[in-house]
Amino acid sequence: MHIHPSALIDPKAELDSTVEVGAYSIIGPNVTIAEGTKIGPHVVIEGHTTIGRNNTFYQFSSIGAAPQDKKYAGEPTRLEIGDNNVIREFCTFNLGTVQDNGVTRLGNDNWIMAYVHLAHDCQVGNNVIFANNAALAGHVHVGDWVILGGFTNVHQFCKIGAHAMCGMGTSLLQDVPPFVMLNGNPAAAHGINVEGLKRRGFSREQIAAIRQSYKLIYKSGLTLEEAKTAIDEQIASLEADVALHVQSMRYFLDAATRGIVR
């Protein structure tokens, strides 16, 4: 274990022998950190926080602090961080609340840039990129491979589907279906994330089917309920490996709770 002499680590904290902790960092008693993780200088990790393998925390981040929620009364809620994440400077990740499921989660292989805020009870998947100053309010759910541009702000309880992409300065007040690109304040949809899908190995047929679903929702003049019916008909006509991704968009439409950006 490589611990700087100025770091303050509670004796009850559980750190793997390979963990590195930089100068003046503080680690509380209910923190568990797995092998290969590197904690930079001036990082505070507190609360009931579990951190997986091979993560890198840059200086001045606050991890596992109490929720910014007036209802919070010191309950032993949690923060869970997976493996292979990069968390840059001045990030703030808060614990969950008992008003939700009591845990804030960040998955694996995520690239989190400076000043990003994950509020209480957020659920963030894998392979996301959050650019500088992106901020999630409480209870936000973010799917895999989502990209948030700098200064993106997400309203509480919003859901963002997998592979969606938000441009810089986006203000999200409603749910975002999978694959959709959007921008603006308030946000507006501008097609699907074709380039991202190509980079992730989606076939031409899969992308064409996703584009057709997008058109049914956004370009056809149909009501949302009519678009759902049209997508159901589309799914019935597709091969299984193509239909799979259209189905994920269709399921999302039923699961949306704040209405969708449209």
121 is catalytic: yes
Phi and psi, residue 235, nearest 5°: -60, -40
Rounded Cα–Cα distance for residues 122 and 160 (Å): 11
Q: Is residue 120 annotated as part of the catalytic site, yes or no?
A: yes
**C-alpha triplet 62, 15, 35: angle, nearest 5°:** 100
Quick check: 172 and 152 in contact, CB under 8 A? yes
The single residue listed with the structure tokens 């939700």 is: 100
Give the integer Cα–Cα distance in Å for 10 and 236: 58
Judge contact between 225 and 196, C-beta under 8 A.
no
Query: Per the residue annotation, which of 22, 138, 143, 149 is the catalytic one?
Result: 138
Q: Is the peptide bond before 76 cis (omega within 30 degrees of 0)?
A: no
Given the residues 40, 117, 121, 167, the one annotated as active site: 121
Residue of 48, 117, 120, 245 marked active site: 120
Distance CA 240, CA 34 (A): 39
Q: Which strands, in side-by-side order, build the sheet including 103-106?
A: 14-15, 31-33, 48-51, 78-81, 103-106, 123-124, 141-142, 159-160
Active site residues: 120-121, 138
